Amino acid sequence: MRKLLVTGGAGFIGANFVHYWARHHPADRLLVLDALTYAGNPANLDPVKDHAGFRFVHGDIRDGALVDRLMREEAIDTIVHFAAESHVDRSILGPDAFIETNVIGTHTLLKAARKAWLDSDDAPASPRFHHVSTDEVYGSLGPTDPAFTETTPYAPNSPYSASKAASDHLVRAYHHTYGLPVTTSNCSNNYGPYHFPEKLIPLLIVNILEGKPLPVYGDGMNIRDWLYVEDHARGIELVLNQGRVGEVYNIGGNNEWANIDIVKLVCQLLDEAFAHDPSLHQRFPRSPAAQNQAASLITYVKDRPGHDRRYAIDAHKIMSELGYAPQESFETGIRKTIDWFLANEPWWRAVMDGSYQDWVKQQYA
């Protein structure tokens, strides 16, 4: 039985990972530590709130005393570290929180793991610190460049990716210097249920349903490599169970799309959904998808400063070494995602009107 500390488990990927882990490893203990920033949503953990062995702690990964206490109290043997400031646009507007959480916060967790696992008499037998990182640390690719491998030199271009790169280096250093048993995964763009609607795909879905513009940065020809979020969880599971300590694994789905093509595809799929289900016309009367015209909302806007042109992940290492293979194609994953947003209107309405954070506000009222 593992005793996991999952940081950032109330966010998009962390919550999907917790759901996945509870289903596949029901005997394990799952402690989620999350500060519930704007990106954290207690409702994301509803599917596991009655799961035996699940516990939620509202707190900050930079709070060293809290992390030390939780490590002892729960005899944590596995840390899966998702907590981060994750949105590139916000890092451009205000980098400080990214340095605080992504760099200082990661270092606080590393110190706590070192104390509990290396400097303690009752350390667990096979502890593991798994750090969840991003392909953005490798910088930007030209149109014909080969995809990022684990040995691609780091070249982060945004405050977000620079802060993630710094955290990756700290994780590496704690392994080489102190022997902390770490693994790191660098993943491409995720999409799926519970995705916060500031990121491209959920923003498109929600804006189409609400009849709002679909902002396309620059010429719309920037390329991202998309992976269904549960396939990311599956990759992390493989690294935790079979990955070699000290190693880095890239996780991706070999699924490159230009932004404008994603925008057009989501428009087409929502137009089709409205054509097949007349009840959507009543639920979303102002949506142009009702008239088969979601694409009429496409609006080209000023480009993101320093906008990376192309990301692409080479996932050969995790595939050949650990037998990884994504289970969703983009075709199936994007349909599941759209269906999830159609079936979970109260979830995204609460995010849009801010009431998703009522629980947090009540704690301090």
Q: Shortest Cβ contact with ligand NAD: which residue?
A: 11
Placement of tokens 């977000």 in the chain: 160
> Which residues touch 183 (CB under 8 Å, ≥6 apart)?
128, 129, 130, 131, 239, 240, 243, 244, 245, 246, 247, 248, 249
* SS3 (DSSP) at 23: helix
Nearer to ligand DAU, 70 or 137 (CB): 137
Residues 327 and 338: their CA atoms lie apart, in Å, by 18
- Does residue 205 bind ligand DAU (CB under 6 A)? no
Instruction: Show the binding pattern over residues 120-159: x = contacts ligand NAD (CB under 6 A), - = does not.
Output: ------------x-x-------------------------
User: CB of residue 136 vs ligand NAD: minimum separation in angstroms?
Assistant: 8
How far is 25 from 75, CA to CA, in rounded Å? 18
Nearer to ligand NAD, 60 or 308 (CB): 60
What order do you get walking across the sheet with 3-7 strand by strand?
Answer: 54-58, 29-34, 3-7, 78-81, 128-134, 182-187, 248-251
Considering the rule CB under 6 A, would residue 34 count as an interface residue with ligand NAD? yes
Selected from 6, 18, 30, 84, the binder of ligand NAD by CB under 6 A is 84
- Residue 134 lies near ligand DAU (rule: CB under 6 A): yes
Tell me the closest approach of the beta carbon of residue 66 to ligand NAD, in angstroms: 10
215 makes contact, choosing from ligand NAD, ligand DAU, none, with CB < 5 to 8 Å by partner type, with ligand DAU
Strand 223-228 vs strand 256-258: parallel, antiparallel, or unpaired?
antiparallel
Residue selected from 222, 250, 287, 337 as contacting ligand DAU according to rule CB under 6 A? 222
Strand 214-217, strand 248-251: pairing? unpaired
Taking the C-alpha atoms of residue 236 and residue 249, their distance in angstroms, rounded to an integer, is 9
So which residues are the catalytic ones?
Answer: 135-136, 160
Site string for ligand DAU, 256-285 (x = CB under 6 A): ---x--------------------------
Residues forming contacts to ligand DAU in the complex (CB under 6 A) are 86-88, 134-136, 188-189, 199-200, 203, 215-217, 222, 224, 259, 304, 311
